[in-house]
Amino acid sequence: MLLARSTFLIIAWSAICLDAKAQEYPFIIEQLPQHLQARVNQQAATLQVVNVGSVDEYFVDKLKLWNTSSAIRVCFFGGSTELRSRIAGVASQWTEAGGYLPLDFGSAASPHLCGSNNGRFQIRVGFEYKGYWSTVGTDSENLLTQSEQSMNLALFNINPPPEPKFSRIVLHEFGHAIGLQHEHQSYKAPCVNDFDWNAIYNFLQGDPNYWSIEQIDQNLKPKPSTSGNDASRFDVDSIMLYSFPKEFYKAGVQAACYTAGNSRISDKDKEFMRKYYPSSVAAAVAVRNQALIEFNNRIDALSIDDIAKSVAKISAARLTSEQVDAPFNIENITGGLGGLLITDSNNAGDTLNYFDRSQVVTP
């Protein structure tokens, strides 16, 4: 698995996998909700994310790791008690993977419902949008209000998918919620060479998706490393690896990057937990502090003006602190800098949504 800090987008949206029978049918890809995309773009611009990607052993956003000195509370916008308990039970596998991740779903008999009378929640699961997606790590606090869901599990409250898809989707999305990005974009992954790019471009630029080449590249091609760190081997077993249609690969199901769909947390995923959510709270604080130091050092090395550097550093520091209930706003970041708005660097989402579950791609 590959680790990277802030790169092109702060929100990672996951695809939903075609099973073998459904692969002959088209699947539908849609954009992020515009209100969320605007916040993502604004945050990405202030962080100068195009130039400061950091790669280590996993693909995770180190600036967005959770503070484990207090509970990470999870709530649901609706859903039956049985469904909420089932989702909580699957997602809790991350807490058992090693390290220390204090996810708090409430009682097993009745997991938390979101609402103003139930306190503050860091991860808010809903079912109202199309597709399966989650914000990455603490973006659910930095980009969204308490009244907005930070994770979407479409139709789970009406017609949840059967196993192993149910567990695959829940584990994948909660992987994003704790800071992990997509494994296929590791710079050591073989996917860039395995992919049949002509087939991918033709498919995703056409009906019904209409993605631009830039959007396709940003969502499928590897994220670069500018830190000089090496990356561990590609993890084909990672729960964070997309399951794309076999037609996306030159060698089909024989491609090294192809997976029919992983439904378990891999050994490398568990290494991530032990390294970035260590059992000692003090060690976890040190991990987050080091991430901020590394980010600031990379910002200092960029050929940008001092104001832009200051905005990036203030924005990064904000990501690692407790936030008020307000979406990301450039005015909150720049303060006395006169509300400087840096030009947005990239405008591409990778929300993969659907109208018919049988016609789309899952993790």
CA distance 324 to 172: 27
Q: What is the DSSP letter of 223?
A: P
Q: Is the pLDDT of residue 287 over 50?
A: yes
What pLDDT does 66 receive?
94
Determine the length of the chain.
363
pTM of structure: 0.79
For 60-69, b where at least 16 C-beta lie within 10 A, e where not — what string? bbbbbbbbbe
In this structure, what token pair is assigned to residue 225? 């490393």
pLDDT over 90 (residue 49)? no
* Structure confidence at residue 301 as a pLDDT band (50, 70, 90): confident
Whether residue 29 contacts residue 211, with contact meaning beta carbons closer than 8 Å, is answered with yes
Q: Determine contact, residues 102/122, Cβ cutoff 8 Å.
A: no
77 close to 23: Cβ distance less than 8 angstroms: no
pLDDT of 167 strictly over 50: yes
Q: What is the pLDDT of residue 95?
A: 95
Torsion of CA 56, 44, 65, 239, to 10 degrees: -60
**For residue 359, pLDDT beyond 70:** no
Q: Which residue has the higher pLDDT, 252 or 49?
A: 252
104 with 73: CB under 8 angstroms? Answer: yes
Q: What is the pLDDT of residues 323-347, one digit of tens each?
A: 444 455 544 544 433 333 322 222 2
Higher pLDDT, 83 or 225: 83
What is d(CA 295, CA 47) in angstroms, rounded to the nearest whole number?
A: 9
pLDDT of res. 274: 93
Residue 53 banded pLDDT, cuts 50, 70, 90: very low
Q: Which of 22-26, 62-66, 230-234, 323-327 has the lowest mean pLDDT?
A: 22-26
Has residue 205 got a pLDDT over 80?
Answer: yes
Across all residues in the chain, what is the average pLDDT? 76
Copy the structure tokens of residue 297: 């050092």
Is pLDDT of 253 > 80? yes
Report how far residue 332's alpha carbon sits from residue 339's, in angstroms, rounded to the nearest whole number.
9
Give me the pLDDT at residue 340, please.
32
Query: In the block, which residue shows the tokens 């699961």?
Result: 125
Q: What are the two backbone dihedrals, phi and then psi, of residue 34, each rounded to the nearest 5 degrees?
A: -60, -35
Question: Which of 21-25, 47-51, 170-174, 181-185 comes out lowest in average pLDDT?
Answer: 21-25
Residue 271 scores a pLDDT above 70: yes
pLDDT of residue 204: 84
> Where do the DSSP E strands lie in the chain?
11-14, 72-76, 103-104, 106-107, 110-111, 123-126, 132-135, 151-153
Q: Where does 11-275+347-354 sit in CATH, by number?
A: 3.40.390.10
- Model confidence at 73, pLDDT cuts 50, 70, 90, reads very high
Closest C-alpha to 265, from 257, 274, 256: 274
The residues, any chain, with a CB within 8 Å of residue 339's CB and separated by 6 or more, are 330, 331
